[in-house]
Structure 1
């Protein structure tokens, strides 16, 4: 196996359990293809005594048969092991297998795609609760790691369990996609040598998902790779969208409807606006749908400046979903050369700006460090003002409300050259600040920050207006 890229905090947390003198129950969750299984296997490769994964929508008998087929070779019995009648019996077999090994060394049991094992009426969760509470908690050398791509299920049924697993989780890890810097390290580790602009283009389409980035071939440009992966007949991600949501959510059509509504509104939608756009009920169902999409990493909620959580703005944060809905779904063009042609069209220009904004929202820590305010307490938020009779509308995608009595207002622009502020855009920036001050009544000092790919051209319009210049390189630190 290759080395682990990034995941420093998560790896440290996992390694701590190897030094513990009591039983550990680890819950790890994160969207599909994000690298959960790889991280567990790599970190615990010397201690792993049993690994078993659930199958999506498989009946109980098939899951139990798979369990038997996985554990039978480890037991080395002279007679064939029968298929367990239920999960209680299956966990008894696992207990009897693990006990003698636990007397000698630290041992890890890894149950992957945990939610898929707990199908309706399977009795899996209650059997696992009994297995852990009656036996697992008493084994000081035991680490049980459970993983799931259905993040909301993991939180509701495991992390926030009100029954037998209540307060039993000893470590909780939400695994996020790679940052730009981690993506660069991952590609370099795979002998893919691209500059930061090319990597950013890949990130716009694929996000920081290791399994997607694994498809990137050395010696090809970002455009060539996207072309091959997303638009050719056998491209790895041509049909990924539907599989992705269907495998995670039982009512995936509702989740997809929300994702599509947010894809159509890059500035984001409030809960009320999502309900109207998707024809949803105003009750708890919508709350659950939004929570499931948020916890799974597909959408993000942003708190508007000086507002409470009821006014949160939801935005689509999954790069692949945004790219698929814009360029792959319903596209007449397919085959080699498709993306080379599409990326030269005017629609790519406006889309790339939105995609770059989303990337910047995921790299606020890096932006703060570049601004020299990493140690200053800040509250990050968005802000928008609907135009009225007396005042024009205004929108700020990212601002840092700082404890040092300043507010950094970020203007995010993606281009393939140095960005130039002209007279009209300079006037727009001044007006935006005036509308913001007027409506928020803030007395804090406003700093305009330009976040661009290659910097902002020095000219008379920039001087005295822009206080900070953040470039693509800063996001890779």
Structure 2
């Protein structure tokens, strides 16, 4: 059952709905980056079923966390004289059991722990107490759903989903909440009476991604450029200091994570694990693997498998729009204040950024691209390809759809403020690219060039016979 006040999140709502219908206890974990809407989703969907909600506080002392727990539980019980603060999490969970038990007789109920990793500080005993609470009591309550949520996605994966202790294989459902796609972003803005066309929405998306908490600050009556200017460059802009706050809130040792992100921002074509290690002066052991996994699970970077290569040869790319925007225009920026973005967006640096940012947006909308190409029902494997000879000019394809119908779609993504024109030089570049690709890969499949652009590609002598398919900006909103 979909809730009208929730934009998008169709698959996630289905998971939450199914949990309400089962005849046994459910333990649901939901994770995703900061400000992506995890808490809102759970609160809204389970609004009528929620009997207890408790959120951890970052870097709070154990006694303060337990005091907050006592205060919330006391408020629910309408206690005029508060109980003493529980001496441990074991005692706190005993109090919770006594409160919840009679309510579970009235139907399916939800207990929600938000910012779960912040509760489990060193020597707090929280995780072991929670494990005992679930295994000894909660798992036996057929009318109980326990939801645990956290922004520190890497912690949630390691300590909860892949737990080897008392919670091993106990999670019944998991949700990795990602930012809105373009269609969901459009729907969200319309729900807030903000009417921008798809080009303007794409400009916003390229700068800040589909993060609901960022989009919440978009004002009606202002263009994308005006909103970006106010939110990022004005003295009190909400995104002016967001970059460091974002990473330090998610990762205990954020400097190394930020170093990887900065290195990838410099290489739009992506970097292999070996190249990341060299650029960031990391070790070749498990530490690097863990850093990359944490960034990937949190949605900041993505690993792409090169055509006909193994996972060991994966190429990592920066996939977080806001991080790319910040590092390009806000990091060590000389210009700040009102009107800064309006000036920058007319400079040459804007052109190089917009091209890379649009490619990243397209890579997140491959399902929509496949739909526009009419191959949604065809099994495809998405990959990238790059040829870097020791001598001479290299070639690369940023999105390649390897299809089960013995064809390969080679996608060229170009951002333009008007209809894109293929000139003689670019046509020669494309012809050379497909020739090198066919020779390098030895594939027997038929290659089709696909142009993914904002307003389409102008018909001329260079397009004819070279470009087989087109995908326009509006197709990405489907």
1:405-432 deviations in Å (ceiling 9; x for gaps) = 1110001000100000000100000000
CA distance in 2, matches of 1:444, 1:18: 47
Look up the SS of the partner of 2:179 in the other structure: coil
Look up the SS of the partner of 1:173 in the other structure: strand
2:383 to 356, 381, 384: 381
1:8-51 deviations in Å (ceiling 9; x for gaps) = 11001101111111100000001110100000001000010110
Q: What pairs up with 1:1-400 in 2 under 5 angstroms?
A: 3-389=5-391, 392-400=393-401
1:388 positional shift:
3.4
CA distance in 2, matches of 1:107, 1:56: 27
Look up the SS of the partner of 1:119 in the other structure: coil
TM-score computed with the length of structure 2 as normaliser: 0.98
Q: Cα–Cα, structure 1 residues 2 and 241, in superposed 2: closer, same or farther, change >3 Å?
A: farther
1:79 positional shift:
2.8
CA distance in 1, matches of 2:389, 2:351: 25
Q: Cα–Cα, structure 1 residues 93 and 418, in superposed 2: closer, same or farther, change >3 Å?
A: same
Matched, 1:463 2:464: yes
CA distance in 1, matches of 2:198, 2:79: 55
Look up the SS of the partner of 1:383 in the other structure: strand
| C-alpha contact 2:71 2:82 (8 A) present in aligned 1 | no
1:76 positional shift:
2.4
Look up the SS of the partner of 2:468 in the other structure: strand
The residue aligned with 2:454 is 453
1:80 positional shift:
1.8
1:255-278 deviations in Å (ceiling 9; x for gaps) = 000000001111110000000000
| C-alpha contact 2:380 2:404 (8 A) present in aligned 1 | yes
For structure 1, the 5+ residue unaligned runs are: none
CA distance in 2, matches of 1:205, 1:103: 49
Matched, 1:422 2:423: yes
| C-alpha contact 2:86 2:92 (8 A) present in aligned 1 | yes
CA distance in 2, matches of 1:388, 1:39: 51
1:69 positional shift:
1.4
1:98-144 deviations in Å (ceiling 9; x for gaps) = 01111122110000010111011110000000000000011111000
TM-score computed with the length of structure 1 as normaliser: 0.99
CA distance in 2, matches of 1:296, 1:105: 35
CA distance in 2, matches of 1:76, 1:17: 29
CA distance in 1, matches of 2:86, 2:255: 35
1:2 positional shift:
7.2
| C-alpha contact 2:27 2:147 (8 A) present in aligned 1 | yes
The residue aligned with 1:443 is 444
Q: Cα–Cα, structure 1 residues 57 and 2, in superposed 2: closer, same or farther, change >3 Å?
A: farther
Look up the SS of the partner of 1:147 in the other structure: strand
The residue aligned with 1:407 is 408
1:212-232 deviations in Å (ceiling 9; x for gaps) = 000100000000000000111
CA distance in 2, matches of 1:368, 1:269: 26
1:95 positional shift:
0.7
1:78 positional shift:
4.7
Moved over 2 A (4+): 76-79
Q: Cα–Cα, structure 1 residues 291 and 48, in superposed 2: closer, same or farther, change >3 Å?
A: same
Count of residues paired in the alignment: 476
Look up the SS of the partner of 1:172 in the other structure: strand
1:77 positional shift:
3.0
Look up the SS of the partner of 1:32 in the other structure: coil
CA distance in 2, matches of 1:79, 1:350: 63
Look up the SS of the partner of 1:25 in the other structure: strand
